[in-house]
Amino acid sequence: MLTRAQVLDPLVRHRTDEIIVTTMGATRPWGRISDSDLDFASADSAMGHAADLALGIALAQPERTVACLNGDGSMLMTLGTLATVVGSGATNYLLFVMDNGVFEITGHQSVAGSGQIDYAAMAQAAGFQRVFFFEDARSYAESVEDILTQPGPTFVHLLVEPGSEGPISRNDREKGRYL
């Protein structure tokens, strides 16, 4: 199982000009390590729709790669997005799902079906061109550059330890550009 830092640090190291859309548990940690003008947070809008927003950006900006850093709870709320992404024909779209089994920023409630849902299999069944599953930091870190540079759509399922991020608020201490 990976820590959130083991997921985000390789991304920030290998990132070039990708647009990154974060939501829920990824918003604060990403804001602490990246201050790019191409970072956007979707943290207090409708939960689960960051992947949809990222797809809209990918379709509007086909010359750029767009990555969504999503959670398992958010993904479960909008599974139809998987088919929508494939149907859109977007090859510049990356969807990372950090599966920690809990709704972390709302109090660590268990995500329904936690530990039983195979998000990577769902993405593959929906028709994603490239699908990855990682539960160890080394193989993930060795794959990030390839994940970021090859055409997709690409889906990355990551088993991640629950963290300790609390509720998100828009105050001066919270870094990030909010959608």
Residue 26 falls within a domain, yes or no? yes
Q: What is the pLDDT of residue 25?
A: 62
User: What tens digit of pLDDT does each residue of 18-64 get?
Assistant: 988 877 666 666 567 667 777 767 665 667 678 899 999 999 999 99
Residue 167 falls within a domain, yes or no? no
Domain that holds residue 54: 4-159
d(CA 50, CA 35): 19
Indicate the number of domains in the chain. Answer: 1
User: What tens digit of pLDDT does each residue of 134-174 get?
Assistant: 999 999 999 999 999 999 999 999 988 766 555 555 555 55
Residue 153 falls within a domain, yes or no? yes
- The model's confidence at residue 102, banded by pLDDT at 50, 70 and 90, is very low
Residue 170 falls within a domain, yes or no? no
Instruction: For residue 135, give the CATH number of its domain.
Output: 3.40.50.970
Whether the per-residue pLDDT at 75 is higher than 90: the answer is: no
**pLDDT, the chain, mean:** 81
Residue 12 falls within a domain, yes or no? yes
Q: What is the pLDDT of residue 99?
A: 86
Residue 132 falls within a domain, yes or no? yes
Residue 171 falls within a domain, yes or no? no
Residue 179 falls within a domain, yes or no? no
- Torsions phi, psi for 28 (to 5 deg): -65, -50
